Amino acid sequence: MELKSQIESLLFVSIKALSLRELGSTLNKKDNEIKEVIEELNNEYKERKAGLTIVENNKKYQLSSNPENAQIVKEFLKDESSGELSQPSLEALTIIAYRGPISKLEIERIRGVNCSLILRNLLIRGLIEESFDKKKQENYYSVSHDFVRFLGLDSIEKLPDYLELNKSDLVSEFLNTVNKEEGNS
């Protein structure tokens, strides 16, 4: 697979900006090679007046919509962020509320599908927060204070059946079984 295609895919699926080091270690390439390809990609986007661009901020890169489309994107996101949550978003939010902090991988194992876009939308709406565990090198998600306040609760533990579902042996056993099966694969 071509390096340009790989970088574009990683920037597309990532819900956070990625550093040259993160991209380089994933693709087993040097930082200068990655930076050169990012610049090529961005130039291609500009030449064909694409709807995408790559934004650099604090030496991190993220795929973004073209600033020329800002107004239409703003209107769309306003509708999307002020509208009702989809069923998959509600499912993911419920999992995060009752099991958080929880990793993206664990959410996806419980739901059985990729949750990247759902997590991004929940982050944009301010319903969840993301934290990085340096020891495990993984992002973890929990509900935000705004979410708890919106529900009229003073603590997430006040959710119905919270203690029972938060420590559910059934869910823990399921995740352990999946982890073991993947380890044997």
User: If you count DSSP H runs as helices and E runs as strands, how many of each does the chain have, helices first?
Assistant: 10, 6
Q: What is the pTM of this model?
A: 0.53
d(CA 93, CA 27): 32
Map residue 137 onto helix, strand or coil.
coil
What are the tokens at 177?
A: 């079984």
Q: What is the mean pLDDT of residues 161-185?
A: 66
**pLDDT at site 155:** 78
**Edge-to-edge, what's the strand order for the sheet holding 18-19?**
18-19, 60-65, 52-57
**pLDDT at site 1:** 65
Map residue 55 onto helix, strand or coil.
strand
What are the tokens at 123?
A: 């982050």
Tens of pLDDT, residue by residue over 23-53, are 999 999 999 999 999 999 999 999 999 998 8
Q: Is the dihedral of CA 107, 132, 8, 125 positive or negative?
A: positive
Q: Does residue 12 register a pLDDT over 90?
A: no
Q: Does residue 176 register a pLDDT over 70?
A: no
Domains along the chain? Answer: 3-69 (1.10.10.10), 84-184 (1.10.10.10)
